[in-house]
C-alpha cells in the first residue's frame, strides 16, 4: 500500500482520527493521534515530531526531538477506539536527517534482514512465534517502603474450588498442570479465545488454532500463521494489543508475564524459524530429522550464543522463574527431533520440504519481538557463516536425565543479570553489519541493570519473611 492508497483507505473506511503507533526499546507500543485532516502525503515523507526523552531508553531531554514516519503498508482500522480511527505502525527517525534511529527496534530488525540478504545466504527469514498468556479476573499489587503484595484471581483457578460463589460452586476448575486441554465446561474461556481469534483475523492475521494451555487459572494460547520477519513482528504487536483489549472489554485482564503463578506452568514464546532463497526452503535436506546442513549450522549458532541471546529473548527477572526444571521450559541447550524437552526442537512436519523448520522453545513473550527476532537471526547466521555444528542430538527426555548426564549438557543462564553479562562479553555477533550498534547494547544492559535488576534486588519479598523473620 502506497501513501496515497493508505490515505484513500482511511477515507473509504470513514476514519476520523489517525493513530500513530511505535515500539519503544523495551517492547511496548506507544502512540499519539491526529485528526484525519492531518493525514497528508507529506506526513509519510517528513513524519511528525514527538518528545523522545519520555520514552524508555531513548534520547535525553537535551536532544529530545524525534520523528515518527508512518509505514503506509501497515494501515489498519483500530477495532477498539470509539471514533473510527485508522492506525499505522511507524518508524522512528532523527529530525535532522530523517535517517532511521539506531535504537528503534523496528529498524534493528530491518537491518538484520538486510544483513541476511547481503551475505547471500538467503533472501527471506520466516518466523512463527507462539506466545502463551494468562487470562485473569482480577490482579492487585502494590509496593511501599514497609509492605508489598500481589494477589491474582481467576474464576477457573483451582485455588477457588472451595470458594462460595453466590451460594454455590459448580466446580470445573482446572487442576495445576491439567489445563491442556479439556472441553467445556472445564474450559471456561473458550468463547473468549474465539472472540480474540476472530478479532485477530479481522486484523489480517490467519489464526491456526486456539486452546487452553497447561496451567490452571486461565492460561491460553492462540497461534497465528508465520510470516517474514518484519511482517511477523508487526503482527505480534497487534496480537498483544488485540488480546489485551478483547479481554478488557469482557471484564478480564491478560498478562504475558512468563511466571505469574507459583507452582504451575509459565508462559513461553516458542519461535519457529526457517531461511528461504528464490522460493526454496533452505532448511530442508537429508541430514538429521530431514534438515539441511545449513539448518544444523543455524542451530549451532543459536545454541552457542544462547547465553547472550537470553538477554533479549528472556529479558525480565520474571523470565528466569519460568526457566527452571520440571515446568516444560527447556533450560538445556540441546536439539532433538519432536522432543519438547529440548531447547531446540525439530517439529515432525511431515514430508513436505516447505514445512521444514526449527523451533526454539526458550524465549518468552516479554521479549521485544523485533529485537528477539533480529538477535536470533544474527546468531543463526553466525552459525552458518562459521559452520558451527551443534554436535549430536539428544533424543531422550532431558527433564529425566540423571544429575551426571545433565551436568554434561550446557544450560541457559540462571538469571537476567547473568544473561546481561554474557551479552556484554559475547555479544559481538550482534554487531555485524551494524545491526545492533554497541550504543544500543550498552543502553539495553544499563537500563535492565538500573531499572529492573537493582530495584528488585533492593526490595524484600514476602517469602523472605516466611524464611527469615524469626531466625
Catalytic, out of 71, 78, 91, 132: 132
Question: Average pLDDT of 63-67?
Answer: 82
The yes-or-no answer on residue 187 being catalytic is no
Do 258 and 330 belong to one domain? yes
Question: Average pLDDT of 411-417?
Answer: 95
Catalytic, out of 270, 272, 305, 345: 270
The CATH number of residue 41's host domain is 3.10.20.70
Catalytic, out of 24, 78, 104, 130: 130
All residues at 6 or more sequence positions from 172 whose CB lies less than 8 Å from its CB, including other chains: 156, 185, 186, 188
At residue 181, the 3 state secondary structure works out as coil
The yes-or-no answer on residue 202 being catalytic is no
Most confident of 64-68, 211-215, 336-340: 211-215
The boundaries of the domain holding residue 11 are 3-101
Do 141 and 35 belong to one domain? no
Do 156 and 77 belong to one domain? no
The yes-or-no answer on residue 5 being catalytic is no
Please calculate the CA angle 45-19-229 and round it to the nearest 5 degrees: 70
- Domain assignment present for residue 113? The answer is no
Residues 358 and 273: their CA atoms lie apart, in Å, by 5
Number of structural domains (the chain) is 2
Residue 108, H or E segment: helix 105-119
Residues 47 and 139: their CA atoms lie apart, in Å, by 38
pTM of the shown model: 0.96
β-strands 17-23, 85-93: how paired?
parallel
Do 42 and 188 belong to one domain? no
The yes-or-no answer on residue 464 being catalytic is no
Within 10 A of 355 (CB to CB), how many other CB atoms are there?
15
Do 282 and 427 belong to one domain? yes
Residues 249 and 267: their CA atoms lie apart, in Å, by 23
Do 389 and 426 belong to one domain? yes
- Domain assignment present for residue 152? The answer is yes
The CATH number of residue 449's host domain is 3.30.590.10
pLDDT score of 62 more than 70: no
Residues 408 and 259: their CA atoms lie apart, in Å, by 27
- Domain assignment present for residue 86? The answer is yes
Mean pLDDT lowest for which of 186-195, 249-258, 301-310, 331-340? Answer: 331-340
Largest CA distance in the chain: 71
The yes-or-no answer on residue 293 being catalytic is no
Catalytic, out of 104, 221, 364, 417: 221
Catalytic, out of 195, 340, 395, 418: 340
Do 307 and 343 belong to one domain? yes
Catalytic, out of 359, 364, 382, 417: 359
The yes-or-no answer on residue 132 being catalytic is yes
At residue 100, the 3 state secondary structure works out as strand
Q: Please report the pLDDT score of residue 340 as a whole number.
A: 79
Burial class (CB in 10 A: 0-12, 13-18, 19+), 86: buried
Do 91 and 128 belong to one domain? no
pLDDT score of 399 more than 80: no
Read off the pLDDT of residues 279-319 as tens digits, 9 standing for 90 and up. Answer: 999 999 999 999 999 999 999 999 999 999 999 999 999 99
Catalytic, out of 5, 42, 51, 464: 51
- Domain assignment present for residue 47? The answer is yes
Catalytic, out of 187, 305, 361, 382: 361
Using 50, 70 and 90 to split pLDDT, how confident is the model at 326? low
Using 50, 70 and 90 to split pLDDT, how confident is the model at 341? confident
Read off the pLDDT of residues 222-276 as tens digits, 9 standing for 90 and up. Answer: 999 999 999 999 999 999 999 999 999 999 999 999 999 999 999 999 999 999 9
Question: Average pLDDT of 78-105?
Answer: 95
Question: Average pLDDT of 15-27?
Answer: 97
Do 409 and 322 belong to one domain? yes
The set of cell numbers assigned to 445 is 544492559
The yes-or-no answer on residue 270 being catalytic is yes
Amino acid at each position: 500500500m502506497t501513501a496515497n492508497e493508505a490515505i484513500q483507505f482511511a477515507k473509504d473506511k470513514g476514519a476520523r482520527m489517525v493513530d500513530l503507533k511505535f515500539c519503544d526499546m523495551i517492547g511496548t507500543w506507544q502512540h499519539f493521534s491526529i485528526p484525519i485532516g492531518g493525514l497528508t502525503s507529506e506526513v509519510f515523507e517528513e513524519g511528525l515530531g514527538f518528545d523522545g526523552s519520555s520514552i524508555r531508553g531513548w534520547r535525553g531531554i537535551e536532544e529530545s526531538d524525534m520523528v515518527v514516519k508512518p509505514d503506509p503498508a501497515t494501515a489498519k482500522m483500530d477495532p477498539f477506539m470509539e471514533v473510527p480511527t485508522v492506525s499505522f505502525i511507524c518508524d522512528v527517525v532523527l529530525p535532522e536527517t530523517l535517517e532511521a534511529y539506531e535504537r528503534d527496534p523496528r529498524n534493528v530488525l530491518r537491518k538484520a534482514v538486510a544483513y541476511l540478504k547481503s551475505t547471500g545466504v538467503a533472501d527471506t527469514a520466516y518466523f512463527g512465534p507462539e506466545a502463551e498468556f494468562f487470562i485473569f479476573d482480577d490482579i492487585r499489587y502494590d509496593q511501599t517502603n514497609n509492605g508489598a503484595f500481589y494477589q491474582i484471581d481467576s474464576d477457573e483457578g483451582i485455588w477457588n474450588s472451595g470458594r462460595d460463589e453466590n451460594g454455590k460452586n459448580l466446580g470445573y476448575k482446572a487442576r495445576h498442570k491439567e489445563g491442556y486441554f479439556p472441553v467445556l465446561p472445564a474450559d471456561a474461556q473458550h468463547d473468549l479465545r474465539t472472540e480474540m481469534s476472530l478479532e485477530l483475523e479481522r486484523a489480517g492475521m490467519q489464526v491456526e488454532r486456539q486452546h487452553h494451555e497447561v496451567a490452571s487459572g486461565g492460561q491460553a494460547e492462540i497461534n497465528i500463521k508465520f510470516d517474514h520477519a518484519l511482517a511477523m513482528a508487526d503482527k505480534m504487536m497487534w496480537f498483544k494489543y488485540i488480546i489485551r483489549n478483547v479481554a478488557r472489554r469482557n471484564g478480564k485482564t491478560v498478562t504475558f508475564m512468563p511466571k505469574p503463578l507459583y507452582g504451575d506452568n509459565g508462559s513461553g514464546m516458542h519461535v519457529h524459524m526457517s531461511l528461504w532463497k528464490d522460493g526454496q526452503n533452505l532448511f530442508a535436506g537429508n541430514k538429521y530429522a530431514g534438515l539441511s546442513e545449513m539448518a544444523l549450522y543455524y542451530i549451532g549458532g543459536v545454541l552457542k550464543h544462547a547465553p547472550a541471546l537470553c538477554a533479549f529473548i528472556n529479558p525480565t527477572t520474571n523470565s528466569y522463574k519460568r526457566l527452571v526444571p520440571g515446568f516444560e521450559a527447556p533450560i538445556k541447550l540441546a536439539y532433538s527431533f519432536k522432543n519438547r524437552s529440548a531447547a531446540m526442537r525439530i517439529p515432525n512436519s511431515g514430508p513436505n520440504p516447505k514445512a521444514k523448520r526449527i523451533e526454539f522453545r526458550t524465549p518468552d513473550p516479554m521479549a521485544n519481538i523485533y529485537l528477539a527476532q533480529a538477535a536470533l537471526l544474527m546468531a543463526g547466521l553466525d552459525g552458518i557463516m562459521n559452520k558451527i555444528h551443534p554436535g549430536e542430538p539428544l533424543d531422550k527426555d532431558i527433564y529425566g536425565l540423571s544429575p551426571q548426564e545433565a551436568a554434561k549438557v550446557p544450560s541457559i543462564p540462571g538469571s537476567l543479570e547473568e544473561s546481561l553479562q554474557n551479552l556484554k562479553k559475547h555479544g559481538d555477533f550482534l554487531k555485524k553489519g551494524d545491526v545492533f550498534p554497541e550504543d544500543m547494547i550498552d543502553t539495553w544492559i544499563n537500563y535492565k541493570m538500573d531499572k529492573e535488576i537493582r530495584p528488585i534486588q533492593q526490595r524484600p519479598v514476602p517469602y523472605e519473611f516466611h524464611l527469615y523473620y524469626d531466625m
